[in-house]
Each structure stands twice: as C-alpha cells, then as structure tokens.
Amino acid sequence: MTMSLPELNAQRTFFDSDQVLGRLVATAPQGAERFVFFAERIWPELLKLRPTLQKMYCLENGRPAEEPVRMTGVTMLQFMERLPDRQAAEACMWDGRWKLARPE
C-alpha cells in the first residue's frame, strides 16, 4: 500500500543554511565542498526520485511520516561520512555542512 505524502515544504526561514552560513563556496567551511556538491548535484536527482521513493513508503508502520527524499539524502551523507546513526542524527542538527547539503 502506498502512502500519500505531504507536499515537500521548501519555504525558507531565517535559520536556513544559506541565511546563516552564506551560499558562497569560497567562504564555505573547510571540507564543505562535497556538501555543496551534494546540494547542487545529488539533491536535485533525489527530488526526481520522489515518486519512486513514495511507492516504497509504508502507511501502517506506526510512525509519523518522514519525507523519503530527506531520509535518503541523510542516509547517503551518513554513509559518505561513515557515521553511526546517533552521530548522523546529531550532525543533522548541529553540523553546518550538513545544512549546506540540503538546500530546502
């Protein structure tokens, strides 16, 4: 059974990464180049895969719906950085480079 996902919310806020960190690659933090690459090249491709990812979503898993594109991106970044689950969750919240990788 497929699940109808909510619309992808792309609304910007003052706390978005490009507002806080700036979108200038020249001033990006050391080691952030691959995160900028992810935002510019990988993220748009993941968005194109949203209909396919939606088909794999289970409606009755007892958990609130989470955006499958975002979850796929986080999983890719986690693999890229070789982080366990807990450290990846912390990186999503606190590492500015991870915020650069998700340009929503």
Average pLDDT over residues 46-62: 82
Q: How confident is the model at residue 84 (pLDDT cuts 50, 70, 90)?
A: very high
Is the residue at 42 inside a domain? yes
Q: Could you tell me how many residues make up the chain?
A: 104
Calpha distance 22→71 (Å, rounded): 24
- Token pair 């700036």 in the structure block, residue: 22
Does residue 31 form part of some domain? Answer: yes
Residue 5 belongs to a domain: no
Whole domain around residue 71: which residue ranges?
Answer: 17-101
Residue 57 is assigned to a structural domain of this protein: yes
Q: How many domains does the chain have?
A: 1
Domain contains 97: yes
Q: Is residue 89 part of a domain?
A: yes
Q: Is residue 92 part of a domain?
A: yes
**Of the listed ranges 13-27, 38-52, 86-100, the one predicted with least confidence:** 13-27
∠ Cα 7 12 18 (to 5°): 130
Q: Is the pLDDT of residue 16 over 70?
A: no
For residue 37, is it within any domain? yes
75/103 Cα distance (integer angstroms): 16
Tokens of 6: 């909510």
pLDDT for 18 equals 53
